[in-house]
Structure 1
């Protein structure tokens, strides 16, 4: 069995490995694994895999931040009885299930994780390295194709799969997550730097994450020129075949349906009531009263993040901390309660 302090030490070594501080052989091995992940899933470009790893190392595996986070949960990591926790991970962005695994690993429970076929290369490799260095870690995590006989479940998926999860896991303690997305509110006086940071919130990971901004609210009379200009920093995405296919498809739909839209040839802006938008499309809507808008958004269960000057800062949506729980449900508190 591993003490919590030993697990923290193991995580520091894992973070060093992920950030390229290992031996030359280890760095080469990690590069090969990242390339395999990209070959398997074309959305997982080397750029975005590296970004996901950097954010994990900086925001999840920093020792001081981990210790500060754990201080919020007295007794965490020392359950009276070890339970089997099944985790159904998503696969929309690289290593998206890392936070759930990390929380489960530190909780002291046995984690059984079922990975998405879209993201089943990176995490197994990291778990194997951890167990290679610390054989005792194997008692806390296993990757499984099917989750059976667990005492509790954490499952992330679409709205459709969430209905099935709720049915199958109803009699067990559970956290069920479904589709969510994020929005931004602009005042109309944003600087070029702020708009380029907003472009990060929209375009990173091709917009596939629940923390990606898929709709912006702008004041009446807003001029979109500066916004479209700021988004040209991601003009290179038009060279990515999967993204370009989505862009061409959505542009064709708009043209066929004579739907008004704005574009800079790499993203499409469409006025639409929905806060969800397809890949390569950013929805927008107008507002006249900021307080009324925020009140409406707070009641929207589909909202993950609100990006604005006085909320989550522009450019920070894809940099969640240990305290930023998906769907706002405290995973650590849930695991401690088992």
Structure 2
């Protein structure tokens, strides 16, 4: 197997390849390696992604590609690896069961496993299975020693040493049952929240709109719940989210909007809505597509206690000076390599196998 410097270089070259696919444009760069083999094939999968999954719009797929291209630099990858003291371990085979809610959602696990010198067996979601195999092939062309280290399967997982699985609370019980005897990271449902005071700037609320609507709100880093002070004026928030008004033209989103609105109205719930987003007062964290839950808070200390006691349900807390480790408005869908899902350090897990 290649050494870590070669693996970092391979992923850095992959970052260069992905830099051709941005939300501004798709454009071929002369200096990118193996473009003759891979550019047109990947471009076709990016442009056809919505045919396989109605949520994978061109803009959202390109947003994901652009995000990964910025993360996969030599500097970032070295900082990522240098964050732990790597032991001289025997390479292992790691099974990854990927979710399919947003494009390339399992890439961070894939990257972590390979950078640490392990082999990977990937079981993809049927909702997101067309992008990663091409990128894996690209890596093998850049670094031939990776050939044979990456396997994609739709069969029952066998012959592995540890597992990283991401799914719902229901599938997590299934994962626990089947993989209980293996070292594992098993991720369940989590949601992200935002703490508002009423003093947010227009820029912050514009950023919050991105946190809510990017990927149609399907990511665990998507804000699905607001905590607001009594008497909060929603007008500024509705003004900020108006830039996403065209989201209702997506058929899958519109169907969810109509269905959830009918359910709420039949249940006689009070709603605030603007034609493409419904706001509902609710104590739970997971709001359905096209809706956003909110809850009032009286004082910041009791809210901090609540967030702390519910931390297993929360992925990100968006705010400005409210709590430690909060994320700035507009940044939830721009994680760094060191923003580990559920706060579980994948590199440490792999290092200790």
Regarding TM over 0.5, the answer is yes
Secondary structure, in 3 states, of the residue corresponding to 1:154? strand
Cα offset, 1:191, TM superposition: 1.4
- 1:16 paired with 2:42, answer no
Cα offset, 1:31, TM superposition: 1.5
Residue 189 (structure 2) aligns with? 179
The whole-number CA distance in structure 1 between the counterparts of 2:54 and 2:134 is: 19
Q: Could you give the per-residue CA deviations for residues 203-241 of structure 1, whole angstroms, max 9, x where no partner exists?
A: 100000000010001100001111111111110101000
Structure 1, unpaired ranges of 5+: none
The whole-number CA distance in structure 1 between the counterparts of 2:291 and 2:168 is: 20
Secondary structure, in 3 states, of the residue corresponding to 2:10? helix
Identify which of 58, 75, 80 aligns with 1:69: 80
- 1:5 paired with 2:14, answer no
- 1:227 paired with 2:237, answer yes
TM, length-normalised to structure 2: 0.92
The whole-number CA distance in structure 1 between the counterparts of 2:219 and 2:57 is: 14
- 1:290 paired with 2:300, answer yes
Residues 192, 230 of structure 1: 8 Å contact kept: yes
Identify which of 323, 326, 336 aligns with 2:341: 326
Residue 120 (structure 2) aligns with? 111
Cα offset, 1:264, TM superposition: 1.3
The whole-number CA distance in structure 1 between the counterparts of 2:5 and 2:279 is: 49
Cα offset, 1:138, TM superposition: 1.8
**Aligned runs of 1:83-162 on 2, under 5 Å?**
83-145=92-154, 146-162=156-172
The whole-number CA distance in structure 1 between the counterparts of 2:73 and 2:139 is: 16
Q: Could you give the per-residue CA deviations for residues 289-336 of structure 1, whole angstroms, max 9, x where no partner exists?
A: 112101111111111110001221000011111111111111000001
The whole-number CA distance in structure 2 between the counterparts of 1:222 and 1:109 is: 51
Secondary structure, in 3 states, of the residue corresponding to 1:218? strand
With 13-22 and 277-286 compared, the bigger mean Cα shift is at 13-22
Secondary structure, in 3 states, of the residue corresponding to 1:82? coil
- 1:82 paired with 2:82, answer no
Residues 159, 178 of structure 1: 8 Å contact kept: yes
- 1:336 paired with 2:348, answer no
Residues 165, 187 of structure 2: 8 Å contact kept: yes
How many residues get paired? 335
Structure 2, unpaired ranges of 5+: 21-28
The whole-number CA distance in structure 2 between the counterparts of 1:269 and 1:162 is: 29
Which 4+ runs in 1 deviate beyond 4 A?
Answer: 23-26
The whole-number CA distance in structure 1 between the counterparts of 2:263 and 2:59 is: 30
With 259-268 and 67-76 compared, the bigger mean Cα shift is at 67-76
The whole-number CA distance in structure 2 between the counterparts of 1:132 and 1:62 is: 18
Residue 53 (structure 1) aligns with? 65
Q: CA RMSD in A?
A: 1.3
Secondary structure, in 3 states, of the residue corresponding to 2:254? helix
Cα offset, 1:24, TM superposition: 7.1
Cα offset, 1:133, TM superposition: 3.1
**Aligned runs of 1:28-47 on 2, under 5 Å?**
28-47=40-59
Residue 307 (structure 1) aligns with? 318
With 137-146 and 37-46 compared, the bigger mean Cα shift is at 137-146
The whole-number CA distance in structure 2 between the counterparts of 1:26 and 1:120 is: 17
TM, length-normalised to structure 1: 0.96
